[in-house]
Structure 1
Amino acid sequence: MEERLETPLVHKVLTSPLGRLFHSRLFERFKTSAVDTEFRVLRARAAADLAGTDIDTFLDELGVTGPVDDSFAEKIGDALTSHADARSEYKRVAAEWDDLFWGDSESTLDERTRLEKERREAGTRWVSPQKTFKFLTKNGLVEIVDFDVPDPSAATDRWGSRSAEDVYGPPENHPDIETSRTMRGPGTREYLVRFPSPSQYVDDTAYARVYEPFETLTDQSLPTLVFGTGLAMACDAIEYWTEEEYVGRSLAPRGYRIVLPIPPWHGRREIPGSYTGEPYLARMPESAVELYATQATEIAVLTEWARSCGAPTVGVGGISLGGIVTTLVASHADTWPTECRPDFAVPVAASARVDDLLFDSSLTEILGVTDALQAAGWTAETMDNLGHLLRAPDSAGIDPQRIYPVGGLRDEMTHYQPTKRVFEEWGVPTSNFTEWDCGHFGVLLRVMRTQQFQHLLTTLLDAPRQSAGLDATARL
């Protein structure tokens, strides 16, 4: 029997008729209330990665200064031992994976696909240890983020005089892109690409996962979508990555190439001692500028690469964090070389005013970002010194007719209404907007479950130079 990667059961349930039960305000409140616990578990996991099985080092990493009783310490010790075993197993499998996919070792497609399953199963046990560390979240022992917020004056000195055109300008270099060997997905041919990040702010290797029809010929031209994921996604380090399913594996078998970039500090790019995405939260607002600018330039590189592969169309999109980056790409791509510019943009659950969002968002409040900024001396006035780097400009950097926003009318996390006004000021046609009466998590459910979103993407990929606005309300 052929080895193939499978769509996880949880995604099948969410996209089945049963998934309609989650289309409610009650589910939105439940998901929002769970954010606190989920992120505290991630913080404990990051501390455990550094501490190994040493209880004192673990508590020190968490900033715990007071004593803990013997029975609780014993429970912590058991959790650390279990976690250290899971981490060691993942590292072992990942090393073998790197050898088969990037190295010179000979292997078959079935062998590589089987190893990919093993790697992602091991990654889930290591990266998402909800059962292992959840008990620590009930007594206030674990903070959500290990903050290191910069001083407002120092940050202003560094960024205040820098123009948005400089920060979000074209890549300074065009690195060579390395392609991994392939694996077999559910109707897909999947592989990784990697290259030295061209960013002036992040010094590491950029990765993206690519999905194509399984029977793709190497010289076949495929319309391509580069789609950014949300905050704290471990991406392909774990078994279930939402964007992989509702974008990558949903569209690729229909004849498209889907490229899912791994954001800085996420997934394969995680920094030891920090959980996936934590540096973005910890060093606000500087980290926001660094991540947005870095991923934008990496999208430019990936767009150029897709065109070099013969793609007749290359679009960019993204949800939540990926939607913010998409908005900034759509803002500044006119300064990039033609081959790096996307043909269209689909920002989903995005924000065009991140400087406001940092002080007025249910998510930044839950995660403690707003309080940490204020404790470090940040105010709306001092944030305005970096505002030109954290908000979209007055005009678009690509044709507004080719921008297709998607949002939730009750989104209190990224504030859809102010963002909508920015797009309207750009001249985005009313017919280009896709809107649902839901909050932030409701948008994710609907892009996963509805044919409306899939139809929007495939129509854009199939009609790259259509000048009139697309009726995004059309349904299959």
Structure 2
Amino acid sequence: MSKRKRDGLPPPVDIPLLGGRPGQFLLRPWFDRVTIRWVTRWFFPISRGWAAARAADGSRERFVEELGMSDLPWGIVDRLLQAAQRAETRYQDTTRRWEDLFFAAHAPGPGELAQIEEERERAAQTLMAVRAYVFPLRLARKLPPVSYDVTSPQDVESAHGHRLRNVKAAFPVPEQPNIRQSHPVEGGYGDVSWLEWPSPMGDTARARLYTPRERKDPPTLIYLHGIGMEMEMWRAQSDPVNALARDAGIRVVRPEAAWHGRRMLPGYHGGEPALAFAPKGYIDMVQGWLVEIMHLIRWARQTSRGPVAIGGLSLGALTAQLVGTAARIWPRELQPEVMFLVVTSGDMLEVCFEGALPKGLGLLDALWAGGWTHEELARWRGLLEPQGDPVMPAERVVMLLGSHDSVTPYSGGLALARRWGVPGDSLFVVNRGHFSTPLGLHQDKRPVQRMAALLNDASGV
């Protein structure tokens, strides 16, 4: 057995369908039309049943309460509850042992770390795969995609109204918490470790870190995921962004948003509270993530003299661009030098009212029933859309847009790029939709390479 296999993590899993001719056929607009139907009609409802089963802890009565349905095929439900309880027990036990080893006072052997991370990945993936037991239930019953409990205009005003009235209060600079870093383990893209620190959301914020092995003071990319994306809960897959640690000497930080992955709220699936408690839930999550990103930018400055880039995909891009503009009034150390946005929009009302995801999930009907109007929602654009120009020059902004994007509609992203004056060599537009556009980075890495070149240029390399 080689040293790498004994002491390090296995290489990330390649996805053959995304490369070559299969990818050229697959990653077209038809793929996005099929995917959005699958996500809204199947994945979200199945995830709702899965979340209810996790919270039920084997109890039929609790499952009925969580799901809000009582006329159910009990044989299917019982098998689901048993599978969920077994997987949950294994996952929680493995996660505790993982935490004890990776954050131990004295570093365990690399073989121990690699083994427990592989065990954690398998346990997490087994738990996520319990969704398969919900499939027969979804065939038998129409499950809700989201457990809506929309917040009222008065509640949002009480929580966030002061932020609208004072630009400095919109995204205030927080105190820096103590961020602890786990012991590293060797991975396919570099040394892999994790960061943990107290979150303003009341839980523990987490981020996975890919560190290049042979570069002192590397530049740092903080790259944010989309809603419902939970990389920590699945086997590590090949990723052109994470590969920058190996290929471009860039330290890559992948934070986990509140209510996702290891931060899921009991009774909810990944990202669901942002929609369930809309619009306050979404505003809360974005505000909390911005604070955590400020924590990470300052940590990056404290641990390396290299420059910092902020970026993201979908929800992550919508959040990163708020950082890029809000940072104009932040201290210099919190101002990133480069920004990388994949499938984004500068028009959140268009995303809300015209986007395929809220339409397919019934969000608009829930908002109207909760007392919201178009005018009321429009009041909150200042907390959800980038205001003014970004802190970095337009030449250091890279954008990748899909001309068939129906989730963050292409028109809003293109208008933002034009408003900011993003130059042609940093604006990439492909004939794809919301899901196929980022997956296309497996075939055409030019947007990632452009961002990496700008970040390394900012390093003086």
1:273-307 CA-partner distances (Å, limit 9, x unpaired): 11111111111111222222221222122112112
TM-score, with structure 2 as normaliser: 0.93
In structure 2, relative to structure 1, the CA distance for the partners of 1:308 and 1:31 (3 Å cut) is: same
Letter in 1 for 2:228: A
Matched, 1:15 2:19: yes
Q: Which residue of 1 aligns with 2:81?
A: 80
Q: Which residue of 2 aligns with 1:441?
A: 435
Deviation at 1:440, TM superposition (A): 0.4
Q: Which residue of 2 aligns with 1:474?
A: none
Residue 47 of structure 2: which of 24, 42, 47 is its match? 42
d(CA) in 2 for partners of 1:309, 1:16: 39
Deviation at 1:97, TM superposition (A): 0.5
1:112-158 CA-partner distances (Å, limit 9, x unpaired): 11110111111011124232211122234421111111112332344
Residue 222 of structure 1: which of 213, 218, 221 is its match? 218
* Identity over aligned pairs, percent: 27
Describe the SS at the equivalent of 2:441: helix
Letter in 1 for 2:208: R
Q: Which residue of 2 aligns with 1:113?
A: 114
**Contact persistence 2:336–2:391 (CA under 8 A):** no
Q: Which residue of 1 aligns with 2:140?
A: 139
d(CA) in 2 for partners of 1:438, 1:27: 9
d(CA) in 1 for partners of 2:324, 2:25: 35
**Contact persistence 2:345–2:416 (CA under 8 A):** no
**Contact persistence 1:224–1:311 (CA under 8 A):** no
Deviation at 1:387, TM superposition (A): 2.0
d(CA) in 1 for partners of 2:189, 2:36: 34
d(CA) in 2 for partners of 1:110, 1:389: 46
In structure 2, relative to structure 1, the CA distance for the partners of 1:105 and 1:29 (3 Å cut) is: same
Letter in 2 for 1:142: L
Matched, 1:6 2:10: yes
In structure 2, relative to structure 1, the CA distance for the partners of 1:175 and 1:216 (3 Å cut) is: farther
Letter in 2 for 1:230: G
Letter in 1 for 2:183: R
d(CA) in 2 for partners of 1:212, 1:168: 33
Q: Which residue of 2 aligns with 1:469?
A: none
1:402-417 → structure 2 map (5 Å cutoff): 402-417=396-411
In structure 2, relative to structure 1, the CA distance for the partners of 1:158 and 1:104 (3 Å cut) is: closer
Letter in 2 for 1:206: A
Matched, 1:60 2:65: yes
Deviation at 1:262, TM superposition (A): 0.7
Describe the SS at the equivalent of 1:462: helix
Q: Which residue of 1 aligns with 2:207?
A: 208
Q: Which residue of 2 aligns with 1:194?
A: 196
1:390-431 CA-partner distances (Å, limit 9, x unpaired): 222133333223222211111110012123213322333343
In structure 2, relative to structure 1, the CA distance for the partners of 1:141 and 1:167 (3 Å cut) is: farther
Letter in 2 for 1:33: R
RMSD: 2.1
Moved over 6 A (4+): none
d(CA) in 1 for partners of 2:16, 2:351: 33
**Contact persistence 1:7–1:245 (CA under 8 A):** no
User: Bigger relative contact order, structure 1 or 2, given CA contacts below 8 A and separation 6+?
Assistant: 2
Letter in 2 for 1:266: H
Deviation at 1:186, TM superposition (A): 1.2
Describe the SS at the equivalent of 1:111: helix
Q: Any stretches of 5+ residues in structure 2 without a counterpart?
A: none
In structure 2, relative to structure 1, the CA distance for the partners of 1:263 and 1:169 (3 Å cut) is: same
**Contact persistence 1:159–1:386 (CA under 8 A):** no
Letter in 2 for 1:38: F
**Contact persistence 1:168–1:297 (CA under 8 A):** no
Q: Which residue of 2 aligns with 1:471?
A: none
In structure 2, relative to structure 1, the CA distance for the partners of 1:216 and 1:148 (3 Å cut) is: farther
Deviation at 1:181, TM superposition (A): 0.9
Describe the SS at the equivalent of 2:240: helix
Describe the SS at the equivalent of 1:86: helix
d(CA) in 1 for partners of 2:373, 2:100: 49
Letter in 2 for 1:228: L
Report the count of equivalent residues. 454
d(CA) in 1 for partners of 2:314, 2:228: 11
